[in-house]
């Protein structure tokens, strides 16, 4: 199976005043195309740092990261914007929708950045609004939607440009348990239908239980790497 993400000996630290805080210690990780993978661990374990590195939002201090065959550690930061736009989709804990735009316009926005023609844009936006169950709410702004509906808009926005890889940072953290479960079911269904790769940073046990693989981090190191069969044994 094709490897879509490869991390080799990744190190990352942050400076707080005069103090150097290590975040990741020589992390090695391969992620195959089509995985539904959860990065789990307590606060400060390094999972969000790792997600940001995979998402080309930050760069490691040492090591190599390949995304879909591209060595992104060798790409200057100012050129990573186009890679993020063309190959990656993002789902955020706080939704990050543009408040003055409708649901339709929020989903359409990534396609405007790619200069997609109007007919193709509209067709893609309607397809994804229908897929997430919000076609009837296309004209509503974020403040007119529930938290679950806003996250569905965010999911449609992340997927409308057909990214190879979707990254999500605590996508259910601001939702109640029932709505969170519905969002997890939706994401898992999209993963199975499309074969698209999803990587989550999460504390949500329900999301971890639905993952095809869980990578547990502790103190900036991989403490466990469990695939579905191992997860089922661990839960049992």
pTM of the model: 0.91
Give the C-alpha distances (Å, rounded to integers) separating 32 from 8, 136, 197: 15, 36, 8
Q: Among residues 174, 185, 103, which one has the least CA distance to residue 145?
A: 103
- CA separation for the pair 33, 213 (Å, rounded): 12
Domains of the chain: 3-235 (3.40.50.300)
Strand arrangement, sheet containing 221-227: 88-91, 165-169, 197-202, 36-40, 213-218, 221-227
Tens-digit pLDDT string for the chain (236 aa): 799 999 999 999 998 888 988 999 999 999 999 999 999 999 889 999 999 999 999 999 999 999 989 999 999 888 898 889 889 999 988 899 999 999 999 999 999 999 999 999 999 999 999 999 999 999 999 999 999 999 999 999 999 999 999 999 999 988 999 999 999 999 999 999 999 999 999 988 889 999 999 999 999 999 999 987 655 555 44
Q: How far apart are CA 52 and CA 167, in angstroms?
A: 9
CB 138 within 8 A of CB 129: yes
Distance of CA 187 to the CA centre of its chain: 11
**Sign of torsion, CA 7 42 207 98?**
negative
Kindly report the number of other CB atoms within 10 A of residue 117's CB atom: 9
């Amino acid at each position: 199976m094709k490897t879509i993400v490869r991390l080799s000996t990744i190190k990352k630290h942050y400076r707080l005043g005069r103090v150097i805080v290590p975040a990741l210690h020589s992390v090695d990780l391969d992620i195959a195309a089509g995985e539904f993978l959860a990065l789990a661990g307590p606060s400060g374990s390094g999972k969000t740092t790792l997600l940001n590195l995979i998402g080309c939002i930050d760069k490691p201090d040492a090591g190599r990261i390949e995304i879909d065959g591209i060595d992104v550690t060798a790409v200057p930061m100012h050129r990573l914007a186009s890679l993020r736009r063309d190959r990656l989709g993002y789902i955020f804990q706080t939704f990050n929708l543009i408040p003055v735009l409708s649901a339709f316009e929020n989903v359409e926005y990534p396609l405007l950045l790619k200069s997609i023609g109007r007919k193709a844009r509209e067709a893609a936006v309607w397809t994804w609004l229908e897929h997430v169950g919000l076609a009837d709410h296309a004209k509503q702004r974020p403040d007119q939607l529930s938290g679950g509906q806003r996250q569905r808009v965010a999911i449609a926005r992340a997927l409308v440009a057909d990214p190879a890889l979707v990254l999500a940072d605590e996508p259910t953290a601001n939702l109640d348990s029932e709505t969170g479960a519905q969002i997890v079911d939706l994401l898992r269904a999209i993963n199975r239908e499309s074969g698209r790769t999803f990587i989550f940073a999460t504390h949500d046990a329900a999301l971890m239980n639905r993952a095809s693989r869980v990578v547990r981090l502790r103190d900036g190191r991989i403490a466990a790497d469990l695939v579905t069969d191992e997860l089922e044994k661990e839960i049992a």
